[in-house]
Amino acid sequence: MYNSDIPSRAELLTSAQLLRSTAIAFVAAVGILVTIVLPAEYAIDPTGIGRALRLTEMGEIKTQLAAEAEADRNRDTQSVPAAPPADQRSSLLNTIIGGLFVSPAHAAERVLLAQAAKSDETVFTLKPNEGIEYKLTMAKGAQVNFTWAVQGGAVNYDMHGTATGGGKEKSIRTGRGVAGDQGVLTAETDGAYGWFWRNRGSADVTITLKTNGAYSAIKRMV
């Protein structure tokens, strides 16, 4: 059997050549970071190349929508919800105790039923500078067909998801001055997936959101 020849010492790269190659790779990586990654992800554009390539605008949309969504959540969660009535607490307690004695097979069956095909049409109005967020409760791998349209103007939006148990919210798609969108939303993990909209226009707009697929609930985030 023939094996390839072992290169001679003269054919091997010298230390100087290795250092030069490493330096070139490092400079290229820094260049890509400064001109592409930072403008597109964080709207940081020290060279101006990102804005020329329209990448900075993409980063500005992401950071603006993320900041607005976080500010709205922080404001709304400052109020502590009142304790449920006694009969509701009793019902909740019974549900929890009953769940402790459910067999794994039965529990899996209930999850499948909860994730069966579901359809909703949600309509809401946004005043100028008003924002709103709706999320679907989905299991890992579940898919939902969605479409939403704006009447009376356009909005900024961020489609994102958060895994069950918390963690960093992951942005899936964003847009500025958009009159509608449609597609398929797929859950990477068990969690809540949905949209945040902001009306930056000078007049009220009405959004109609239609969802159809494997989710157990849709709710407005507070």
117, β-bridge pairs: 214
Average pLDDT over residues 112-134: 85
Give the CB-side neighbour count of residue 113, counting CA atoms within 13 A. 6
- Confirm whether pTM is higher than 0.75: no
Q: Output the CA torsion sign for 67, 73, 75, 78.
A: negative
User: pLDDT digits over 11-37, tens only?
Assistant: 666 778 778 888 888 888 878 877 777
User: pLDDT digits over 131-180, tens only?
Assistant: 999 999 999 999 999 999 999 999 999 999 999 887 788 999 999 999 99
**pLDDT confidence of 111, banded at 50, 70, 90?**
very low
Residue with the two structure tokens 């990448």: 55
CATH code that applies to domain 116-220? 2.60.120.380
Please state the domain extents for the chain: 12-76, 116-220
The burial of 18, by beta-carbon neighbours within 10 Å (0-12 exposed, 13-18 middle, 19 or more buried), is given as exposed
AA identity, residue 197: W
CA distance 24 to 30: 10
Lowest mean pLDDT among 25-34, 125-134, 203-212: 25-34
